Amino acid sequence: MELVSVAALRPGYVLAEAVTNRSGAVLCPSGLRLTATLIERLKTAGVEAVVVEAADKSGPTPEERIAELNERFEGIDDPIMLQIKATIHNRLSLMRLDN
């Protein structure tokens, strides 16, 4: 875990501790993977720094997840399963855009 200024945050970082405002309300829970949009919201909220997990614990990238998704659905021809795959692929593609 390390304390990182909001200005230095990058999409993909994972919060190690919940982020709260001055009155104690939770803005972001621990374990949340940051996106560019969330980082901007933290800046707007006046948050100066957050505690994030070590970089090597951030998990696979959206590209790696898409590759795994394609492997898992290889040879599947069920229309419902293919709709599920398309939905997951679209969500992962949106995550990639946030980075």
Q: Are residues 78 and 53 in the same domain?
A: no
Eight-class DSSP state of 33: B
Containing domain of residue 93, as a range?
A: 62-98
Q: pLDDT by residue (tens digit) across 30-83?
A: 999 999 999 999 999 999 999 998 765 567 888 889 999 999 999 999 999 999
Q: Are residues 9 and 52 in the same domain?
A: yes
Domain count, the chain: 2
Residue 86, Cβ neighbours under 10 Å: how many? Answer: 11
For β-strands 26-28 and 49-52, DSSP reports them as: unpaired
Q: Are residues 8 and 49 in the same domain?
A: yes
Q: Are residues 15 and 53 in the same domain?
A: yes
Q: Are residues 21 and 45 in the same domain?
A: yes
Q: Are residues 50 and 69 in the same domain?
A: no
CATH number at residue 29: 3.90.105.10
**Of 58 and 13, the one with more pLDDT:** 13
| pTM for this prediction | 0.55
